[in-house]
Structure 1
Amino acid sequence: MSLFRKSLASLGIGAAKVDTVLQRDVLIPGEALPVSIHVHGGETAQAVSNIHLFLCCRYEEEVASSRGDSQHRTEKVSQTCTLATWSLPEAFTIEVGEERLFDAELALPFNTPITIGDAKVWLETHLDIPLAFDPKDKDILTVRPDPLMDGVFTALEQAGLRIRQVECEAADGFELPFVQEFEFVPVSGPFHGRWRELEVVAYRDSDGLQLWFEVDRRLNGLSGMLSGFLGRGELKRQCHVPATTCPQQAGEMILDYLDQAT
C-alpha cells in the first residue's frame, strides 16, 4: 500500500499541497511583499528539495511573422517576465498529514506593473519534489501606484484626463524587458480640445520617476504611438521627478511641463 500511495503521490494524487497567504492585500512597487507558505502533507511522506516563489507579469512583444510570402509582418506575442524570485535555503520532508509553515519576503521591483487595464501580476509557489508532480499555487496580486505616480495620476485626473488603455510593451534599455504605457484622453479641463490623446511611459528607480510623453492632436490619431518610438529608442518630451518630491508637487510639476511643452 505504501508503494502504491507513493506512486499515486508522484502523479499528484494524495500528494502534498502548498498554499501561499499574502500578508498584504494591496501592494506598492518598491516595497516588500511578506507571505506565509503553508505546506500540507499528503497520504505519504515526501521529500521536498525546495520551495520556489516567482513574482510574474505579462507583457506584449512584437515579433516577425512569416506566412509563406515575401511580405514582412509583425504580430504581438504575450511574454511572461519573472520580476522577483525566492527559494527556501534547505530541503525537508513533509510527513503524512503534517503541516509546515514558512515565512518569506519578496521585494517588489520599482517597475512592477500597476494592475489596471490588461496588466496582471501574480505570485507562483512551487514545491520541488524529485521524481514527482510538483504542487503549485497561484495568487493574483493587486498593485497600486507608488506615491509619486499616484500624485501624477491624481493631477492628470483633476485636469480632466481619463485613462483609456494600459499596456506593458517590450522595450530595450531598461532594467526590465518592458515598460508600462498609459493612454489618457481629455474629457474636460484645459487640455480638452487641444489633444486627442496623451500617452505616458513611466520608469521608476531610486533616484525618482522618469516620464516620457507623446501627444496626439489629430482627429483620427495613431494607435500605440509610444510602442513605435520605444523600439527605435526615440522617446522624447521626457521629465524627471526627483524621489524627494512630494506627490502633490509631482503632479503640479507634470501639469506645468505638459502645458509648456505642448
Structure 2
Amino acid sequence: MKRLLSSIGIGAATVDTVLSQAAVRPGEQVELAVDLAGGDVAQRIDGLYFTLKAESGGDEWVVDRYSFDGSFVIEPGEERTEPVSIFVPSWTPITRGGPRVWLETGLEIDWAVDPTDTDDVVVEPGPYVAALFEAAADLGFEFASSTMEETPWLDDRPFAQRLVFTPGERFERQVEALVLTTIPRDDDLRLYIQVDTRDQVADAVGQDFNEQELSVTVTYANPEMIARRITSTIDEFT
C-alpha cells in the first residue's frame, strides 16, 4: 500500500531550498543548499530543477531555468542536503519598489507528484543600476516605484524594468517624473531616459513630452557621468 501511495504523491519526499545570502545581485553565482526529507517510503530522485521567476502588475515572467542531473535514493525519514549553485542573469529585475522575484525548486521523481518549494528572493542592483540610483539621488530625484514591461522590440529578453523618480527642488519646476528603463547586460547598461514635464512647459513648446525618450548605452558604472547624461537629456527636452 505504501508503494502505491508514493506513486501518486502521498507520503513523498519534501524539499526546501536555502540561499547562502540575504540578497543576490544580477551577474552573481549564488550558492544554494537544497534540504531534502524522505517520506514514508524510499524514493529515487533523478534530479533537481529550478525556475527563477518575476512578477509585476499581475504579469509573470520566467527569468531563467536550471536543472541538475544525478540520481540517488532517499530513504524513509532520511534528511540530506544537496549543495548547488546558480547564476543570476544580468537581466534579473531588482525587487526595490514593486517587482517580486522568487525561485521554484522541484524534484524529478518518476510516477509521482513532484515536491516543489517556492522561496522569494531579494535582488539588489548590480553595479550599473546602483550607479544609476546614485546619480539620480545626486540630482535630487527620489525613487518612487518600479514596474516591468514586455519588450517585443528586444530579441534577447522578454522584459525590461522601468524605474520612476520624482524631482527634488532643482528640477521640480520642469519635471513631473523621470522614468529610466533599464536593460542591464553583461558588460554595459542599455538605458532609456524618459522625461515627463510639467503641463505648462509642454503647452509652451507644443510637444507631448510623454513621448520624448532617449536611448543611451552606459559603459561605466560612474554616477557622475550618468548624472551628466540625465541632466543634458532634461535640458534638451525642456
Same fold (TM over 0.5): yes
Aligned residues: 230
C-alpha change, 1:103 and 1:257, in structure 2 (3 Å) is: farther
**Deviation digits for residues 30-61 of structure 1 (CA, Å, limit 9, x no counterpart):** 1112111111111100122221111111256x
In structure 2, the residue corresponding to 1:7 is in which secondary structure? helix
C-alpha change, 1:28 and 1:250, in structure 2 (3 Å) is: farther
- Aligned residues of 2:30 and 2:87 also touching (Cα < 8 A): yes
Instruction: Specify which of 4, 8, 33 is matched with residue 5 of structure 2.
Output: 8
TM superposition score normalised by structure 2: 0.86
Instruction: Specify which of 17, 22, 25 is matched with residue 25 of structure 1.
Output: 22
- Aligned residues of 2:136 and 2:227 also touching (Cα < 8 A): no
Instruction: Specify which of 164, 174, 180 is matched with residue 183 of structure 1.
Output: 164
Establish whether residue 238 from structure 1 lines up as the match of residue 238 from structure 2.
no
Q: Distance in 2 between matches of 1:181 and 1:189?
A: 23
Q: Distance in 2 between matches of 1:170 and 1:34?
A: 30
C-alpha deviation, 1:135, in angstroms: 0.6
TM superposition outliers: structure 1 runs of 4+ over 4 Å: none
In structure 2, the residue corresponding to 1:13 is in which secondary structure? coil
Give the letter aligned to residue 145 of structure 1. P
In structure 2, the residue corresponding to 1:49 is in which secondary structure? strand
TM superposition score normalised by structure 1: 0.79
C-alpha change, 1:257 and 1:10, in structure 2 (3 Å) is: farther
Question: Which residue does 2:191 correspond to in 1?
Answer: 211
C-alpha deviation, 1:14, in angstroms: 2.4
**Deviation digits for residues 107-160 of structure 1 (CA, Å, limit 9, x no counterpart):** 111110010222011011001212112111111000011122111112212322
Q: Distance in 2 between matches of 1:250 and 1:121?
A: 30
Summarize the alignment of residues 15-94 of structure 1 with structure 2, pairs less than 5 Å apart.
15-59=12-56, 78-94=58-74
In structure 2, the residue corresponding to 1:191 is in which secondary structure? coil
Give unpaired runs (5+ residues) of structure 2: 201-207
Give the letter aligned to residue 90 of structure 1. G
Q: Distance in 1 between matches of 2:156 and 2:126?
A: 18
CA-atom RMSD in angstroms: 2.5
Give unpaired runs (5+ residues) of structure 1: 61-77, 230-234
Establish whether residue 158 from structure 1 lines up as the match of residue 135 from structure 2.
no
**Deviation digits for residues 62-109 of structure 1 (CA, Å, limit 9, x no counterpart):** xxxxxxxxxxxxxxxx44322222222222221112223222111111
Q: Percent identity?
A: 29
